[in-house]
Chain A
Amino acid sequence: MLQVIKIVWQAIRQLSGDDAYERYLRHHAEHHAAESEPLSKQAFFKKWQDEKWQGVKRCC
């Protein structure tokens, strides 16, 4: 039961973008750790939000 709640909660976090920064840090650590420091949470969030809203994202 606890396991199910945990999975659902993680899905909700991922759907809403609540864990976007954590996922970014993981991606950065895996792929770009040698090249640069990761962005701060504030800077990442700004970039993430701006990118999310380019182009057609909502329909009729």
Chain B
Amino acid sequence: MVAVLGAGAVSGIALNRGEPINALWFITAALCIYAIGYRFYAAWIAATVLMVDETRATPAERLENGSDFIPTNRWIVFGHHFAAIAGPGPLVGPTLAAQFGYLPGTLWILFGAVLGGCVQDMVTLFLSTRRDAKSLGQMARDELGALGGTAALIATFVIMIILIAVLGLVVVNAMKHSPWATFTVSATIPIAMLVGVYMRYIRVGQVLEASALGVVLLLLAVAGGRVIDESATLRVLFDHEGLTLAWWVMAYGFAAAILPVWLLLAPRDYLSTYMKLGTITLLAVAIILLQPDVKMPAVTQFIDGTGPIFGGKLFPFVFITIACGAISGFHALIASGTTPKLLTNERDIRMIGYGGMLLESFVAIMAMIAATVLDPGVFFAINSSAGVVGKEAVDAVAKISSWGYPVTVEQMQVLAQQMGEATLFARTGGAPSLAVGMASIFGSAFGESMLALWYHFAIMFEAIFILTTLDAGTRVGRFMLQDILGNKWAAMGRTSWLPSVIVTSAVVVSLWGYFLYIGVIDPNGGVNILWPLFGIANQMLAAIALCVATGILVKSAKGKYAFITGAPLLWLIIITSTAAWQKLTSDDVRIGFLAAANDLSAKLAAGLLPPDKAAVAPKLIFNFQLDAVITLFFVSLLWLIVFDMVRVCVRYLTGKSVPVLTEVPHSFTRLAEEWVRD
């Protein structure tokens, strides 16, 4: 029954041409595919391949200490796990990938998740649970060798830097010359601090009370932005160039990394988690109530690589652009180390690992819907940078209309006015177009008159957890750097030693700050460069996790089942290597880093560039070359780990010695059945 409905919905989406298709079909198709994947594939993996054992005590039970190792109700663990894995990634990726039309991205989100991403999360959670909740890096070191471990560590650090830079860029682009958005986003900082002080000193530990206060203040800040926007004297205080905002974001990241966690990071995280869960639920309800029609064609002509948002053909770039939502290596860091410490019973691994990723995939589907319910002309007008369609509104609409997606200057003006913005042209990065999509869905479902409020609510919602990822990421980067430096110079390794804190935080901030700076001065918007780089890095981390998993499966004499992680791994190797190869060697200046560098150098030498572009050209040229080096580094790292994994597997299969399995021996759980299920 589910299978028939699912097959019907998928083929409905896939075969429907030329006429609008209702968003409800997307939801139906997604839920059916998830149900089949969860009921059959995940259950089979859990029972036959992993052989989860419900009589076995988990680390949470054996190592219970009342603080981080705590056996916890499975729904609570699911909540923690989902809140940790779902960030801005599944919202931004599908929005950008919608330039190919709705179909390619949707299919990849559905099948990538069911066959790849969910399996990765579940298997990693299982392996870490069997190994005292060890981290991915530690497991890579123990099971494959020092090479794998070091590679995982370096990969995590680099991906963090790229991730923060690209997310920072998304926020900056959303705030650029928008006093309303800038005010609301800045207001989240003192609000978070107030909540922090409240929880710490005024009403100690009253987390919910403090958070409720914070949420009310945030909503007031969204409404208050309108007052700022309408006041001629106040609005100039919050009306800034991208570059100014970028410096502020960097200053903020630095402050957040050195301030105590209770003051900024922890309370901001509470607020962003509530906002995230609340808004996603609201969006799902609104889509089901409203049942909007999807206006984007199934497939656009941009699959040939000429897309205005980012260059590159459908294969491999749709798979790189949508990482989170289909398969995301970052999840392996949460599924190992963090979540296993709470898991009460192994039987819940399927629900938490596989189920958690299904829900994230569903978030990505909703982001895809929000992007594709917009008129395609409007979608491209918001997301195409001035460098591609021209600076003037007239040029931009002419160019976009010439692609077959009609849009007019008046239409864009009316829309901008409705959203309370000066302009919506060239607002790259995905956040503004997602906010317009969400605002129109919310507006139609819950009241048209509040469009501007909904728009700025959506911007605030995206910004608040982007900034949470930004400050948490900077802090993690700082800890990793302190850890690495601590090996050489013990004092640097002390996480509370102030000089070390300041130096390492400054290093981490300047690393991502550099990419953010370049992204802001890039006339093509920067996201078109940084997002593919982030996608490649994230898929590479996924490949590392799948390598560890495949290696362990083979070593556990389950080689015949190794395809469950081996097949997604092979696919990731193919897409990341192809994407990296094209990024390095393509002659198309919008794809190849080196081609772009050479093209810009030639134009600069020939004096073809206007003065403002000529001034930044040397920096851009250097950055293209740097990006090429980073890409090369990523693929080399990937292949190194794959070879290491293959080496270990071959040694095992030919009877030679391999690192021994580090699985902890079986001990019986003493937690009673009803306790687990309560």
Q: Do A and B bind each other?
A: yes
**In the complex, are the beta carbons of A47 and B208 less than 8 A apart?**
no
**In the complex, are the beta carbons of B208 and A11 less than 8 A apart?**
no
What are 25 A-B interface contacts by the 8 Å CB criterion?
Answer: A11-B76, A11-B79, A14-B72, A15-B80, A16-B207, A16-B211, A17-B207, A18-B206, A20-B207, A23-B70, A24-B67, A41-B205, A44-B205, A47-B67, A49-B262, A54-B479, A55-B479, A57-B84, A58-B473, A59-B86, A59-B324, A59-B328, A60-B323, A60-B328, A60-B469
Give CA–CA (A57, B88) in the complex, Å.
14
Q: How far is the CB of B537 from chain A (nearest CB, A)?
A: 10
| Sample of 16 more A-B contacts, CB < 8 Å, known A27-B64, A58-B472 | A18-B207, A20-B205, A24-B66, A24-B67, A42-B205, A45-B199, A51-B67, A53-B472, A53-B475, A54-B479, A56-B333, A57-B84, A58-B84, A58-B269, A59-B84, A59-B331
**In the complex, are the beta carbons of A45 and B538 less than 8 A apart?**
no
Q: How far is the CB of A28 from chain B (nearest CB, A)?
A: 7
Grouping DSSP codes into helix (H, G, I), strand (E, B) and loop, the B interface class, with mixed when no group exceeds half, is helix
B598 at the interface (CB under 8 A from A): no
In the complex, which residues of chain A have a beta carbon less than 8 angstroms from the beta carbon of B324?
A: 59-60
In the complex, which residues of chain B have a beta carbon less than 8 angstroms from the beta carbon of A41?
A: 204-205
A52 at the interface (CB under 8 A from B): yes
B385 at the interface (CB under 8 A from A): no
Total number of B residues with any Cβ neighbor in A under 8 Å: 53
Partner of B68, one of A13, A23, A42, A51: A51
Q: Which residue of A lies closest to B324 (CB)?
A: A60
A31 at the interface (CB under 8 A from B): yes
**In the complex, are the beta carbons of A50 and B205 less than 8 A apart?**
no
Partner of B76, one of A15, A21, A58: A15
Q: Which residue of B lies closest to A43 (CB)?
A: B204
B94 at the interface (CB under 8 A from A): no
Q: How far is the CB of A45 from chain B (nearest CB, A)?
A: 4
Q: Given A56-B338, A60-B89, A60-B469, answer yes or no on A42-B204 (Cβ-Cβ < 8 Å).
A: yes
Q: Which residue of A lies closest to B199 (CB)?
A: A45
In the complex, which residues of chain A have a beta carbon less than 8 angstroms from the beta carbon of B208?
A: 12-13, 16, 18
In the complex, which residues of chain B have a beta carbon less than 8 angstroms from the beta carbon of A6?
A: none
B570 at the interface (CB under 8 A from A): no
Q: How far is the CB of A52 from chain B (nearest CB, A)?
A: 7
Partner of B67, one of A14, A42, A48: A48
Q: How far is the CB of A43 from chain B (nearest CB, A)?
A: 10
- For window 526-578 of B, CB contacts with A under 8 Å fall at 534, 538
Q: Given A12-B208, A17-B207, A24-B66, answer yes or no on A59-B75 (Cβ-Cβ < 8 Å).
A: no
Q: Which residue of A lies closest to B79 (CB)?
A: A15
Partner of A59, one of B76, B135, B266, B334: B334
**In the complex, are the beta carbons of A60 and B211 less than 8 A apart?**
no
**In the complex, are the beta carbons of A11 and B75 less than 8 A apart?**
yes
Q: Which residue of A lies closest to B164 (CB)?
A: A60
- For window 585-600 of B, CB contacts with A under 8 Å fall at none
Q: How far is the CB of B499 from chain A (nearest CB, A)?
A: 20
Give CA–CA (A48, B333) in the complex, Å.
21
**In the complex, are the beta carbons of A57 and B338 less than 8 A apart?**
yes
**In the complex, are the beta carbons of A60 and B163 less than 8 A apart?**
yes
Give CA–CA (A13, B262) in the complex, Å.
19
In the complex, which residues of chain A have a beta carbon less than 8 angstroms from the beta carbon of B72?
A: 14
- For window 176-217 of B, CB contacts with A under 8 Å fall at 199-200, 204-208, 211
